[in-house]
Structure 1
Amino acid sequence: MSQLAPYASHPDRSRGRLHPEPHREMRGPRDIFQRDRDRIIHSIAFRRLRHKTQVFISPDGDHYRVRLTHSLEVAQIGRTIARALGLNEDLTEALCLAHDIGHPPFGHAGEDALEEAMRPFGGFDHNAQTLRTLTQLESPYPLWSGLNLSWELLEGLAKHNGPVAKPGWALAEVNAGFDLNLTCWPSLEAQIAAISDDIAYDNHDIDDGIRAGLLDIDQLLELPFVAERWEAILSRYPDVRRRRLIGELTREQIGVMVNDVIESTRERIHALRIADVDDVRNAGVMIGGFSAEMAPRERQLKAFMYENLYRHPTQNEAALGASKIVRELFAAYHNDVSLLPTEWRENLPEHDPARSRHIGDFLAGMTDRYATDRHREICAPKI
């Protein structure tokens, strides 16, 4: 790793883990953030992301992105920005890899359905579910629940979009056990992980949308930011067919956005006289992010994607089916807990809201195909 900047998260200054871990040197010369990253990669929850929706629900093709490939792409962007700014690359990568672990099956359609089903029991939020999964549900160690991740990683996941004034029940439970200082801003590594997520899905979803036939380049050229990049690409490759240049457009836009984040973040670090990580947390503003010029362009691109891709009629139709699966599965398990697998049934709390939240945990961990199979098995009419 290159030399860390003074305002980076240094592993030797970490606030540590909730549970002490003696004899950690027996498992290789890794610092605390490298171990965090490796624990996430080796977790069951991370492996399940390969069968969870990114944009398209149960896509027919093998080339569409899923939560796993999206998380890897976010991590690649995050490491690039972190390296340029002298931040801790390992912590940044770990945050990027873990940020979507709490997503239920079927993307936002599944989350909306699960939130509705759990509303009488406190509701559901995928960010908080990420923390809940990593601190309680994923438990490969003999002496404690969860992965026992560093304070800095959990803090970054809890508030990568900024301070949290009113945490929901799931985040409040995690915070009660390990105070994450929710009212302050997170590390720069967490801020860079958050903006890397935006850069990745803003641009990679364009590629998937065009591949699926739901978007075309002429629609995108209505956006001045995209049109400017596209004209530059056409001038460089006038004899190459347009479809082959989509990947070049994606790369070019990512590059422009990444460079913008690096330069604007440096400017804010200098303007705010950020000297250490405590200055970052107490700055009162988000430091890592787009410039004043790029931010509205990115918002315009995101709005375009919601209107033309995420809410496309074919997407809405698939979302209705996915919502039905999640709602009916929750109702089925809630009405007959004997349908739960043995290990989940044995740990089922006796009373609500803990009882229904336990069922919500089971549903949130499902992959798209597992949820579809269980719904067919449990809820389909018997002939």
Structure 2
Amino acid sequence: MKPLAMLASDSALSRGRQHFEVTGETRGPRTAFQRDRDRIIHSISFRRLRHKTQVFVAPDGDHFRVRLTHSLEVAQIGRTIARALGLDEDLTEALCLAHDIGHPPFGHAGEDALKAAMQDVGGFDHNGHTLRVLSQIDSPYPRWRGLNLSWEALEGLAKHNGPVATPGWALAEVDAGFALDLTGQPSLEAQVAAVADDIAYDNHDIDDGLRAGLLDFDELAALPLVARGWAAVLRRYPDVPHRRLRAELIRQQIGTMVNDVIDETRARTAAAGVTSVADVRAASMALSGFSPTMAEEERALKAFMYAKLYHHPRQTEVADRAQELIAGLFAAYRDDPARLPEEWRESLPEADPARSRHIGDFIAGMTDRYAIARYREVVGDVEMPEGF
């Protein structure tokens, strides 16, 4: 089938950047979306992802995934789908690489703790914070705050999980300065980035869960999606020991899900009769995603992972400790801002909500190990459960 190039975002038709840049200063022959991707990769906030939780908090094992490796895996899957569909690969990759930049230390446990600590100043959510980091906090350029990404990159990150009817304070602030059309559908590149994220963590968290000994393979293999993939692997490699085939199962599942998304996206766009990027944004539903059958099987897989891995007693023990740590840090800095590092102390606003949000920005940018070190410095000793 022909690629959907007519539905691809065109960097030459970009809506531009919030801050004007002199074209002659462009370093190298790159499109706007290539520059977005490169700015993300070179940013401090992207580098910090190497020490931020994906599933396991500060894992002892070198082979477990962290936010950085997860983001790279999402980008690989996203580019594969975008290439098959004829979409812009660079924009897709930029969105995949940046989608988790707003996560605080300790993953969702850290986010829950920050949300509770900041409830009287608007709360916290990692997606809104991603936009805040990229447009205000991470500031390597001399003339403006933030990375000054293209409208399409910021819009895709704001809406990669769909239209936003009621944005939180962080996203609302970004939108007020550079309107992102939050109520419309996102580009196909953003929709692909969202489903690539699902494919990556569905499968790679299985790999990590098995490696950590927290998942039972026989229970996992009873799920319809996994059972079908495992049967296909065994047919191809009947003489190979089963323990050596688990990585092949992960590859099998990723390929099956990728092909499903490609076929379903083609079917949805054809049925919707869209012929332009504007049509995609005006559509009544997302035009890229899993087929109904795959969506049902993927939900069953997610339910299994929540029950058996994400809510495993060893995981919840670490999550509880992590939440106590984040809550303690926030309280300590709000009670005595003199404990903040000098550069954060010097720019501390006088009053709330800006004052507490500034402290939240500092904590959200921490890596797992930096948060543990700062807690020991300003609160007291803390011991994380062994092995995680």
What is the TM-score of this pair, normalised by structure 2? 0.97
* Structure 1 residues 22 and 324: CA distance shift in structure 2, 3 A: same
Mapped to 1, the partners of 2:4 and 2:234 lie a distance apart of: 40
Equivalences for residues 299-318 of structure 1 within 5 A: 299-318=299-318
| Corresponding position of 1:216 | 216
Mapped to 2, the partners of 1:172 and 1:26 lie a distance apart of: 30
Greater CA drift, 178-187 or 3-12: 3-12
The one-letter amino acid of 2:82's match is A
| Corresponding position of 1:130 | 130
The Cα of 1:228 is off from its aligned counterpart by 1.3
**Identity percentage over the alignment?**
70
Equivalences for residues 239-258 of structure 1 within 5 A: 239-258=239-258
The one-letter amino acid of 1:361's match is D
Mapped to 2, the partners of 1:23 and 1:176 lie a distance apart of: 26
Q: Deviations over 1:30-63 (max 9, x none)?
A: 0100000000000000000000000001111000
Mapped to 2, the partners of 1:109 and 1:87 lie a distance apart of: 35
CA RMSD across the alignment:
1.3
Q: Does the 8 Å CA contact 1:85/1:262 hold for their aligned counterparts?
A: yes
Greater CA drift, 242-251 or 128-137: 242-251
Whether 1:279 aligns to 2:264 is: no
The Cα of 1:381 is off from its aligned counterpart by 5.9
The Cα of 1:290 is off from its aligned counterpart by 0.6
Greater CA drift, 24-33 or 143-152: 24-33
Mapped to 2, the partners of 1:53 and 1:312 lie a distance apart of: 16
Q: Does the 8 Å CA contact 1:4/1:88 hold for their aligned counterparts?
A: no
Task: Report the count of equivalent residues.
Answer: 381
| Corresponding position of 1:324 | 324
**Partner SS state of residue 153, structure 1:** helix
The Cα of 1:239 is off from its aligned counterpart by 2.3
Q: Does the 8 Å CA contact 1:4/1:10 hold for their aligned counterparts?
A: no
Q: Deviations over 1:273-324 (max 9, x none)?
A: 1101000000110101011111100111111101100000000001011111
| Corresponding position of 1:18 | 18
Mapped to 1, the partners of 2:350 and 2:83 lie a distance apart of: 49
The one-letter amino acid of 2:162's match is G
The one-letter amino acid of 1:52's match is K
* Structure 1 residues 185 and 148: CA distance shift in structure 2, 3 A: same
| Corresponding position of 1:198 | 198
| Corresponding position of 2:84 | 84
Moved over 2 A (4+): 23-26
| Corresponding position of 1:269 | 269
| Corresponding position of 2:291 | 291
| Corresponding position of 2:340 | 340
Q: Does the 8 Å CA contact 1:18/1:148 hold for their aligned counterparts?
A: yes
What is the TM-score of this pair, normalised by structure 1? 0.98
**Partner SS state of residue 181, structure 1:** coil
Mapped to 2, the partners of 1:60 and 1:242 lie a distance apart of: 26
Q: Does the 8 Å CA contact 2:375/2:381 hold for their aligned counterparts?
A: no
* Structure 1 residues 267 and 3: CA distance shift in structure 2, 3 A: closer
Mapped to 2, the partners of 1:280 and 1:42 lie a distance apart of: 31
* Structure 1 residues 381 and 27: CA distance shift in structure 2, 3 A: closer
